[in-house]
Amino acid sequence: TDLKVIEKWMEGAKDFLREEQAVPGNDEGLQRQLDQCLAFVKEIDTVESSLKNMKEVETHFPSCPVAGIKTWVQTKLVDYQTQLEKYSKEISSHKDKWSELQEKVKNLKKDLKEMQKWMMEVEEEYLDKSFEYKSPEELLKDVEEMKRAKEDVLQKEVRVNILKNNIKLIAKKVPSSGQELTSKLQVELENYQLLCKRIRGKCQALE
């Protein structure tokens, strides 16, 4: 029984690691890979328990009349222990890799939403404001405010470029997710450039 538990896990782990080399095509594929890794990791304790049981049984074999069975079991135990250590390490490594990629994709989507929200707030705060029928003193204050807004918007370009580079890196590792993020980024980049242009125009008009 313990032998079947161990061999089933070994075969499954071997097949998974052989097929898993391909990069997932989308978020669902990435999640599926991660779920499979977690399932194998969860079963490691059961496999180790079965291996422990076999070792305990092996200690009672000195008086066993069946010739060669002790040597056969000892060979199996050594082989399984070696394979278990190897596959456990590889699966844990893949689990960490897919988990990290999934977290990066999630964070980049969050960053894009925050960028979109920030641009909407800037537009509402500065571009939708009416500057008509004001005294020269009030307009002077508005000019200073718009200049600060212009600087703030332009300084965001550094963060925008970092976001763009991070999305390019993800696109190489997870093509489908990267393509989706790249499409969304392109829209936000166009909106950002438009926002910069409108802020500069508003500032110039007030001056």
| pLDDT tens-place string over residues 55-69 | 888 777 766 666 677
Distance CA 126, CA 150 (A): 10
The pLDDT tens digits for 159-191 are 899 999 998 888 887 777 778 888 888 999 999
Q: Is 115 exposed, middle or buried (0-12, 13-18, 19+ CB in 10 A)?
A: buried
C-alpha–C-alpha distance, residues 131 and 137, integer Å: 12
Question: Can you read off the two tokens belonging to residue 168?
Answer: 């390019």
Residue 66: per-residue pLDDT: 65
In the predicted structure, residue 19 carries a pLDDT above the cut 80: no
Given this model, what pLDDT does residue 67 score?
64
Pair 84, 48: CB distance under 8 Å:
yes
Separation between Cα atoms, residue 139 and residue 31, nearest integer Å: 55
SS3 call for 22: coil
Tokens of 92: 């844990």
